[in-house]
Amino acid sequence: MSKKDSLTPLKMLLFSFHATNTIIISFLPLYLKAKGLNATEIGWVLAVGPLASIFSQPFWGYMSDKYKTVKRILLICIIGLIMSSIVFFQMNGLLAILIMGAVFYFFTSPIGGLGDSLAQRRAHDLGVSFGTIRTWGSIGFATSSLIIGEFLRRTDIEYMIYPYLFFGVIALIITFRLKDVEVDSDPIQLKDVKQLLQNKPFILFMLFMMLLTITHRTNDSFIGLYIAQLGGGEELVGLSWFVSVISEAAIFATAGLWFRKYHPIVFVIISGAFYSLRWFLFAAASSPVEIIGLQFLHGLTFAIFYLASFDYISRLIPRLLQSTGHLVYYSVFFGISGIIGSLAGGAIIDAFDAPTLYFGMGCLATVGTIALTIYHILPWGKRAPHQ
């Protein structure tokens, strides 16, 4: 099998999983609103996912490293995704939604991190750009956001489970064809994980990057509600995600042309500056069309930030701990940051309004960019011992 052919199942897995992911990120807040929840309660439900991921992502990452397999862990998680989603979407009361949401996210939250971890390793082994593999996740996200947005406009938000299960089953079928990771070392022990906790550059970088990722995750949770408040429907929410992820895919696809020119932290800082600009412009928007037009900045924020920060932490952690380290990173990015963003964002929207929330996000992103610049100036920000 050629290099190109061996990557096809992995690319298709990223495509199909992120197609399911866009349904949850883009439309779950609107689905919960239709269930009668207010913004604060929606924030609670959206915070359950990141809370579950704090425990599930390091757990599944550790199991992956311990048994030296990504493929089998992905199979378990995707089967869990399909089964738990069927129950989750039948829940009506807030408590029932919260409980089943925790189970649902326990299985779904590690899949993106494991897929990207496998993609990063395969890219390293084959000497290809990680971005050219990861861009297929973006294409899946963009395609799904546009198609599902139109589907829900023609039907109803309560039918979102059907396309979700469709893409979930496709992801499961594709996973059986994946080429698994190969690690020539003994399985890790719990004591090995201490290396991550004692890695000061790794811990410091995680803390500083949270100032940016909190704003990113807040936007993930509430952009749909913001567009709805400005008078947009489901199809405009889908269109906004389509525009954003097309710009993301373009950045990932061309990463091989520009990414290695500077230290990855430089690109993290550049993306931080764009994050600040993006949120301040969102705060000043007065129509859904303006939000959609500004979504091209997603590529200059998330895509550059994710590519650079993922590369940087991959250098900071030994190969033996790659899955664990990547999912700890995911736990901070999509877990802790998601909890803070969902809870605080919902409360701020209920107490004030969405423009106030986005202005605060712009201020927080500015502080984070300054902190990361200082980190880069310090010796720790220049070290990458496992490069």
pLDDT tens-digit series, residues 34-57: 888 888 888 888 888 888 888 887
**Residue from 372, 117, 147 nearest 267 by CA:** 372
Residue 168 pLDDT exceeds 90: yes
Start-to-end CA span in the chain (Å)? 29
- Secondary structure of the chain: what % helix, strand, coil (to 5)? 85, 0, 15
DSSP letters for 83-151: HHHHHHTT--SHHHHHHHHHHHHHHHHHHHHHHHHHHHHHHHHHT--HHHHHHHHHHHHHHHHHHHHHH
For residue 347, pLDDT beyond 60: yes
Q: Helix 71-88 vs helix 161-175: angle between axes, to the nearest 10 degrees?
A: 160
Q: Look at residue 272 and tell me whether its pLDDT is greater than 80.
A: yes
Better-predicted residue by pLDDT, 320 or 147: 147
Instruction: Look at residue 342 in the predicted model and tell me its pLDDT.
Output: 83
Q: Looking at the domain that runs over 7-382, which CATH code has it been given?
A: 1.20.1250.20
Would you give the DSSP letter of residue 183?
-
Query: Quick one: what percent of the chain has pLDDT higher than 70?
Result: 91
* DSSP secondary structure letter of residue 199: -
User: Locate tokens 């984070």: which residue?
Assistant: 368
- Cβ neighbour number for residue 269 with a 10 Å cutoff: 23
CA distance 10 to 134: 9
Could you tell me the residue ranges of all domains in the chain?
7-382
Query: If phi over 0 gives left and psi between -120 and 50 gives alpha, with beta otherwise, what is residue 318?
Result: beta
Rounded to two decimals, the pTM is: 0.75
- The two three-digit tokens of residue 250, written as one number: 């373009």
∠55-24-154 over CA atoms, to 5°?
170
- Own/partner pairs for 185-191, CB < 8 Å, 24+ apart? 185/319, 185/320, 187/65, 187/66, 187/67, 187/68, 188/62, 188/65, 188/66, 188/320, 188/321, 188/324, 189/66, 190/62
Q: What local confidence, expressed as pLDDT, does residue 386 receive?
A: 46
Task: Find tokens 């359950």 and name the residue.
Answer: 48
At 381, the pLDDT band (50, 70, 90 cuts) reads low
Q: How confident is the model at residue 1 (pLDDT cuts 50, 70, 90)?
A: very low
**Residues 217 and 51: beta-carbon distance below 8 Å:** no
pLDDT digits (tens, 9 = 90+) for 221-237: 889 889 988 988 877 88
How many CA atoms lie less than 13 Å away from 128 in the CB half-sphere?
Answer: 17
- Tokens, residue 197: 């906790």
- Provide the 10 A C-beta neighbour count for residue 277: 17
DSSP for residue 90 = T
Structure tokens at 8: 């096809």
**pLDDT reading at 33 higher than 70:** yes
Q: Are 85 and 165 in contact (CB under 8 A)?
A: yes
The residue type at 134: R
**Length in residues, the chain:** 387
Quick one: pLDDT band at residue 92, thresholds 50, 70, 90?
Answer: confident
For the segment 100-107, the average pLDDT, to the nearest whole number, is 92
